[in-house]
């Protein structure tokens, strides 16, 4: 999700409905905590990951248990969302609402499954304001929003420049950012492959939450790209140097997050 300008329309209040892109319908936020269907899906997800790869997890202590929260992760593979959800949702004890392409929610089997697990759809080509309204409503209601600030999977494995939309959401709502880093998933399920390749190891790290503000630099308000860069630096510092891409200078050499393999 990107932002075309600093000012976006206000979302519907937490007590009212919000229409999605292209009048796709009302966004039903549902339960605040994982439902039985979600818990079963997450258990299956963890079981599958443990069967096809070795999962290296960092500590998941001290996660926010209430209030709005934006999960912001790098994105290497289709394996990322279920990996993050399978471990982070139970640790949070809260339902996570992931933005997904509307086409996926229209699929006969995958669509109902994604909806049951908290995803909501955004139509490709729709105005950015539609995506912004839906995401902002999740946060205004004190929920957890799952995002990938790069806006797409990285084809090189290295961090790309972050889009402005997630940074703007954080500023407008005051929601803290929970930085998440994943790596190894690009080998488990490479871009362009229909199915995963069992084997290897995947890694997941979660950093401390932080709040973004718009600083004043030389008497001028900081521009959104600079704020988005600070958000991405919070992710980059959790990654090994080889994965930091355009944010490679965020931490001194040698202060890597762990093994690459």
| 110 lies in some domain | yes
From the number of C-beta atoms within 10 Å of its C-beta (0-12, 13-18, 19+), residue 111 rates as middle
| 14 lies in some domain | no
Picking from 51-60, 63-72, 117-126, which range would have the lowest pLDDT averaged per residue?
A: 117-126
| 261 lies in some domain | no
Residue range of the domain that includes 217: 35-245
Number of DSSP helices (H) and strands (E) in the chain, helices first = 8, 9
Decide: 225 and 212 in contact? Cβ < 8 Å: no
Q: Please, which pLDDT band fits residue 205 given cuts at 50, 70 and 90?
A: very high
The average pLDDT across 183-187 equals 98
| 118 lies in some domain | yes
Decide: 195 and 172 in contact? Cβ < 8 Å: no
The average pLDDT across 145-163 equals 93
Decide: 261 and 201 in contact? Cβ < 8 Å: yes
Q: pLDDT above 90 covers what percent of the chain?
A: 62
Q: What's the confidence (pLDDT) of residue 211?
A: 96
Helix (H, G, I), strand (E, B) or coil at 202: strand
The average pLDDT across 188-200 equals 94
Q: What's the confidence (pLDDT) of residue 25?
A: 40
User: At 45, which helix (H) or strand (E)?
Assistant: helix 36-52
Q: Per the structure, how many domains does the chain have?
A: 1
Q: Is the pLDDT of residue 144 over 50?
A: yes
8-state DSSP, 249: T
Decide: 190 and 199 in contact? Cβ < 8 Å: no
Q: Please, which pLDDT band fits residue 22 given cuts at 50, 70 and 90?
A: very low
pLDDT per position as a tens digit, 78-133? 999 999 999 999 999 999 998 777 777 788 888 888 888 888 777 765 556 777 88
Decide: 21 and 124 in contact? Cβ < 8 Å: no
Single pTM value for the model: 0.85
Q: Could you count the other beta carbons within 10 Å of the beta carbon of residue 201?
A: 15
| 7 lies in some domain | no
Q: What is the CATH number of the domain that holds 148?
A: 3.40.1130.10
């Amino acid at each position: 999700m990107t932002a075309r300008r600093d000012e976006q329309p206000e979302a519907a209040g937490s007590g009212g409905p919000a229409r999605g892109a292209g009048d796709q319908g009302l966004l039903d936020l549902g339960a605040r905590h994982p439902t039985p269907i979600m818990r079963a899906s997450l258990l299956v997800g963890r079981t599958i990951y443990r069967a096809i790869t070795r999962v290296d997890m960092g500590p998941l202590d001290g996660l926010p248990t209430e209030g709005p929260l934006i999960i912001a992760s790098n994105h290497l593979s289709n394996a990322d969302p279920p990996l993050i959800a399978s471990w982070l949702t139970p640790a949070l004890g809260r339902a996570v609402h992931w933005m997904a392409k509307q086409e996926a929610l229209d699929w006969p089997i995958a669509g109902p499954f994604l909806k049951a697990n908290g995803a909501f759809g955004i139509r490709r080509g729709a105005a950015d304001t539609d995506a912004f309204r839906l995401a902002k409503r999740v946060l205004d209601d004190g929920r957890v929003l799952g995002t990938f600030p790069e806006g797409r999977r990285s084809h090189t494995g290295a961090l790309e420049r972050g889009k402005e939309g997630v940074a703007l959401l954080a500023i407008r709502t005051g929601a803290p950012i929970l930085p998440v880093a994943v790596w190894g998933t690009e080998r488990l399920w490479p871009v362009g492959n229909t199915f995963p390749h069992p084997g290897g190891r995947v890694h997941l790290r979660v950093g401390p939450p932080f709040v973004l503000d718009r600083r004043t630099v030389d008497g001028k308000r900081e521009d959104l790209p600079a704020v988005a860069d600070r958000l991405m630096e919070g992710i980059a510092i959790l990654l090994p140097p080889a994965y930091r891409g355009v944010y490679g200078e965020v931490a001194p050499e040698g202060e890597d997050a762990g093994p690459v393999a």
